[in-house]
Amino acid sequence: MFLYILGLVAFWFVFRWYRELARVPNKGQKYVYITGCDSGFGNLLARHLDKLGFRVIAACYTEKGEDELKKVSTERLNTVHLDVVSTDSVSKATAFIKTLVGEKGLWAVVNNAGVSVPSGPCDWMTVDDYKSMLDVNLIGVIGVTLSVLPLIKKARGRVVNVASVFGRISAFGGPYCVSKYGVEAFNDSLRMNMSFFGVKVLCLEPGFFKTSVTDLHLLRKNVKTLWDKLPEEIKDQYGHDYPERANVTLEKNVATLLDGDLMKVVSCMEHAISAVHPRTRYSPGWDAKFLWLPLSYLPTWIADKMLLKDMAKPTGSIL
């Protein structure tokens, strides 16, 4: 019986591998709109797809990002300024894309832009802290998607949303996990709605990768900024040495998990865009596959216990 089950599992993986080899034709006629192309995953994906022959529309937040990308790309790649928080900026980018793609429509949008701070214990946060991140990581994703959805429906194309494995499990406090849970929900509801129109909606759930949003200097600065704004009552509850202890824990846990091979994520993005039969979800990174996702399926009391043992404890903790 065991060998029978093992054989079925092996057959399934071989079948899936073979099925996923096929790629869409006419790449040179397909436009792909990518947000957050100044650096990291977005920048690498824009260059990678350009080399594969896609017509890339790379949205950058800065003029420097646009200039640097143009220097290393072919004439097929177009850049556009985009601030996903600004409705006016999103509208201008959409108008540019409509002119560019014409009647062909837009093959894919990749919602890659995002931020990771402020992050910290929930009682360190204000409503404005939550709003600032949700505006980028969630409302930005929704706004960009809706702005080009008619063009994607015309091409029967793809929507690729970059969420996070922390849209499946909340391993720390603050608005980041909240925003990524929201992306997951938007992705799932959109996938069902768009299936009637032949549009595929795919989700990436990466683990920890070495990018600007996981930079340890940025994360340490984030801890200090939040701590300096706290009232004395909360500082007393956590202990005045808490920032130092939190940074030690941060460096120990994050530095251990960081994966420097960004192509693991970019390859999943490319597959979601170019495969005839893409996956509904991708979980790039060993920590996503073998640590965080398994944790998310455990009973809550077990998962919480495992997560809490690696956190810096407040002085006033009862645990």
Catalytic residue numbers, as ranges: 176
In angstroms, the CA 113 to CA 141 distance is 8
Instruction: Provide the token pair at 273.
Output: 């865009």
Please report, as a single letter, which amino acid is at residue 169: I
In angstroms, the CA 70 to CA 63 distance is 11
Angle at Cα 6 formed by Cα 4 and Cα 11, nearest 5°?
A: 95
